[in-house]
Structure 1
Amino acid sequence: MLTNLLIWVSSFLGYLPTATPGTTYAVVVGISDYKALSYAAGDLRFADRDARQVVTFLQSKSGGNVPMANIRLLTNRQATLSAVQQALQLFRKAGTNDRVILYFSGHGLPGSFVPYDARPGNQGKMLSYQAIKAAFHESSAITKLCIADACLSGGMTQQKISRTAIESKVNDGRNVAMILASRSTQYAVEDGQLAGGAFTHFLIKGLTGQGDLDGNGIVTIRELHQYVGPAVRKRTRGRQTPMFYGRFSDSLPLSYR
């Protein structure tokens, strides 16, 4: 059940569009091997693999048959701060009937995600939440999705500006959703038995059929939340609670079987 995490939804049901977007543009980032880290001192194991799985989904029928020309995949050493910032300019190509998606899997810090070439203690080398929101704001797309499998990612829901400013600058009266692996105080778990992040594992399972709870061939954002949330909490024994946050219709379709 979507409750206080979706505080803006109820007054907009029936108003926000739910039709299939015309074209999808996606930036997909996965970083396991960091420049300043080693496997023994902080590197991840599966983030790049998770990113490739997301691309495979997007290119499938369920994901909309998105052509690779509309996807920017950046893994490990490719995912420098400048490269990710450049990739996000892809969203400017989107028209009003289109959809843009950012997927990030890697380390997260308060207020930012960590690119490949991050420097410890240097905030200027981090991918800030504000920079991501600015990239979404600059896009004309009718549907905007930010999906993050990173520690502390729930912090994206914490704003330093007023809600009025958020609505005008970030949402623009459109479907805007943050689908985040954990609360702002929680780590995102990598699961050796699943060979991936627990969140991304169940995200992909949900989008490829398990999340079609009513069996009508469409996985809506509400259904995905109802599937992913309990599955991740159970798998991580309550250590991780995904967050679905934003301004959108519960019936927003995310995949088709």
Structure 2
Amino acid sequence: MLTNLLLSLSLLIGGQKPASTGQTYAVVIGISDYQALTYATGDLRFADRDAQQVVAFLRSQVGGNVPVSHIRLLTNRQATQATIQQALKLFRQAGADDRVILYFSGHGMPDSFVPYDARPGDQGRLLTYEAIKAAFHESKAITKLCIADACLSGGMTQQQANRRSSAQTIASTIHDGSNVAMLLASRSTQNAVEDGRLAGGAFTYFLLKGLTGRGDLDGNGIVTIRELHKYIGPQVRKRTRGRQTPVFYGRFSDNLPLSYL
């Protein structure tokens, strides 16, 4: 599952689980109800529920029984810019054999995610990709995973300009030997679809389906990042009638295991 992320690229992909899988530290964010919005003006329906499902997965036996103390769940009014940035400090607790996960479901912009307390025209209240990159860089974890179910999230793969410098992508600016993967719901020009019949974001729905077995395309009991992408991509495109194409990006092996079944 998410908590069995690769510790070493030298592990043989043959169905045998590693003897030690390290610890997982996760910051999980879901914002449906925004301070400055109503449902009529842009509030979402399922982002907080999706975040809760991700936490339930991590806490389950198949998800690795991640301790509550290793998870920061922020939903709706809890997910201000300040509380998110404080939560990201959790990643500093990770050691070299550990992995860190950031999951965000909510509104996205080309260069940032939108916290609960964001205000129109106030760039200072956004959660920039630069801030996420910094949090990842400060962690010693060998594996760093960013999952985003947000509109325009594919913008994380592009160079962004900020007021101080040219901020490169998360993966290209971390040169500490870590495995960095970004699992993004949509391209930089696309919206991320919420599906009433699925009662959640289409991307998160198929993400969890893939990690819990559907993504094991060769039947060997391991879901690699390549297999997960091959599973999620067609499923999301079909479900959204071509309006949404997930993007997997970073610095990692195609055989990076994401779950052991």
Same fold? TM cut 0.5 = yes
Aligned to 1:222, which of 215, 226, 251? 226
CA RMSD in angstroms, aligned pairs only: 1.8
Q: 2:148: which partner in 1?
A: 148
What SS is found at the alignment partner of 1:244? strand
TM-score (norm 2): 0.88
Q: What CA distance in whole angstroms lies between the structure 2 residues aligned with 1:172 and 1:184?
A: 27
Query: Is 1:205 matched with 2:209?
Result: yes
Amino acid aligned to 2:241:
R
Distance 2:134 2:94 in 1: 15
Classify the secondary structure of the residue corresponding to 2:235: helix
Letter matched to residue 181 of structure 1: A
Using structure 1 for the length normalisation, give the TM-score: 0.90
Q: Which consecutive segments of 4 or more residues in structure 1 shift more than 6 A?
A: 162-165
* CA distance in structure 2 between the aligned counterparts of 1:171 and 1:192, rounded to whole angstroms: 41
Q: What is the CA deviation profile of residues 162-193 of structure 1, one whole-angstrom value per residue up to 9, with x for unaligned ones?
A: 879964x4242221000000000000000001
Cα separation, 1, equivalents of 2:61 and 2:82: 32
Give distance in 2, aligned partners of 1:22 and 1:164: 26
Local SS of the residue matching 1:53: helix
Report sequence identity in percent. 76
Question: In the comparison of the two structures, how many residue pairs are matched?
Answer: 242
Q: Do 1:21 and 1:99's aligned partners in 2 also have CA atoms closer than 8 Å?
A: no
Q: Which residue of 2 aligns with 1:243?
A: 247
CA–CA separation in structure 1 for the residues paired with 2:51 and 2:109: 19
Aligned to 1:189: 193
Asked whether the equivalents of residues 30 and 104 of structure 2 are also in contact (C-alpha less than 8 Å), the reply is yes
Equivalent residue number for residue 180 of structure 1:
184
Amino acid at match of 1:194: L
Contact 2:81 2:125 in 1 (8 A): yes
Distance in 2 (CA, whole Å) between partners of 1:26 and 1:118 is 23
Specify the alignment match of 1:115 in structure 2.
115
In the aligned structure 2, how far is the partner of 1:165 from the partner of 1:145? 10
Please state how far the C-alpha of 1:60 moved relative to its aligned partner. 2.0
User: Would you say the 8 A contact 2:156–2:170 is kept in 1?
Assistant: no
SS of alignment partner, residue 239 of structure 1: coil
Cα offsets for 1:104-159 (capped at 9, x unmatched) = 00000120000000011111000000000110001000000000000000000002
Structure 1 stretches of 5 or more lacking a match?
Answer: 1-14
Q: Which has the higher contact order (CA 8 A, sep 6+)?
A: 1
